[in-house]
Amino acid sequence: MHVLVLLLQILVLFAVVMLHVAYATYFERKIIGHMQVRMGPMRVGWHGLLQPIADGIKSFFKEDIIPEQADRPIFLAAPIICLVAMLTSLAVLPFAPGWVLADINIGLIFILAMSSLSSYGVILAGWASNSKYTFLGGLRSMAQVISYEIAMGLSLVGVMMLSGTLNLSKIVEAQGTSFGGMYIFPQIIAFFVFCVAMLAETNRVPFDLPEAETELVSGYATEYSGMRYAMFFMAEYIGMIVMSAIGTICFLGGWNGPFTVPGVPFFWFVLKIYLFLFVFIWIRATLPRYRYDQLMELGWKLLIPLALANIALTGIVKAIIG
Amino acid sequence: MTAAPSFPPQYLAILILILFGIGFGAVTLYVGRFFRMSRPYHEKLVAYESGNEPTAEPRMRFSVKFYLIAILFVVFDVEAIYLYPWAVTYDRQGLFALVEMFIFIFLLLAGYVYAWKKETFQWEK
Tens digits of pLDDT across chain B (125 residues): 455 556 677 888 888 889 999 999 889 888 888 888 888 888 778 877 777 777 777 777 777 888 888 888 888 888 888 888 888 888 887 788 888 888 888 888 888 888 888 877 777 76
Q: Which pTM does this prediction carry?
A: 0.89
Q: Which 19-48 residues of chain A touch chain B by CB within 8 A?
A: none
- The residue of chain B with its CA nearest to that of A161 is B87
Distance, CA of B19 to CA of B33 (rounded, Å): 21
How many whole angstroms from its chain centre is CA B66?
14
CA distance B62 to chain A (A): 9
3-state secondary structure A129-151: CCCHHHHHHHHHHHHHHHHHHHH
Q: Which of A242, A225, A238, A235 minimizes the C-alpha distance to A82?
A: A235
Task: Read off φ and ψ for residue A66, nearest 5 degrees.
Answer: -110, 110
| Model pLDDT for residues A304-320, shown as the tens digit of each residue | 889 989 988 888 888 88
Q: How many angstroms separate the CA of residue B43 from the nearest CA in chain A?
A: 10
DSSP secondary structure, B21-78, as one string: HHHHHHHHHHHHTTTS-----HHHHSPPSTTSPP-S-SS----THHHHHHHHHHHHHH
Amino acid code (one letter) for A240: M
A-B CB pairs within 8 A amount to 200
* Contact indicator for A268, A255 with CB cutoff of 8 Å: yes
Of the candidates B32, B48, B98, the beta carbon closest to that of A315 is on: B98
HEC string for A60-96:
HHCCCCCCCCCCHHHHHHHHHHHHHHHHHHHHHCCCC
Q: What share of chain A is helix, strand, coil (3-state, %, to 5)?
A: 75, 0, 25
Q: Are A28 and B38 in contact (CB under 8 A)?
A: no
Asked if the bond preceding A206 is cis, omega within 30° of 0, the reply is: yes
Asked if the Cβ–Cβ distance from B17 to A149 is below 8 Å, we say no
CA distance A91 to A58: 29
Chain A nearest-CA distance from B106, in A, is: 10
For residue B7, give the 3-state DSSP assignment: coil
Distance from CA of B74 to the nearest CA of A (A): 9
| Concatenated DSSP letters of A219-288 | GGGTT--HHHHHHHHHHHHHHHHHHHHHHHHHHS-TT--SSPPTT-TTHHHHHHHHHHHHHHHHHHHHPP
A319 touches chain B (CB under 8 A): yes
pLDDT of residue B71: 87
Model ipTM? 0.83
Q: How many residues does chain B have?
A: 125
B16 at interface of A, judged by CB pairs closer than 8 A: yes
Cα distance between residue A164 and residue B49, in whole Å: 52
| Cα–Cα dist A177/A253, whole Å | 8
Distance CA A148, CA A145 (A): 5
Sequence letter at residue B26: A
Summarize pLDDT for A159-208 with one digit per residue, the tens. Answer: 888 888 888 888 888 887 666 778 888 889 999 999 999 998 888 878 88
pLDDT of residue A196: 92
Whether A199 and A207 have beta carbons less than 8 Å apart is answered as: yes
| A291 closest CA partner among A214, A189, A218 | A214
Residues of chain A short of pLDDT 70, as ranges, are: 177-179, 212-213, 322
User: Between the CA atoms of A266, A268, A274 and A280, what dihedral angle is there, to the nearest 10 degrees?
Assistant: -120
First to last CA, chain B: 59
B48–A133 C-beta distance less than 8 A = yes
* pLDDT given at position B122: 76
Q: What secondary structure letter does DSSP report for A289? A: P
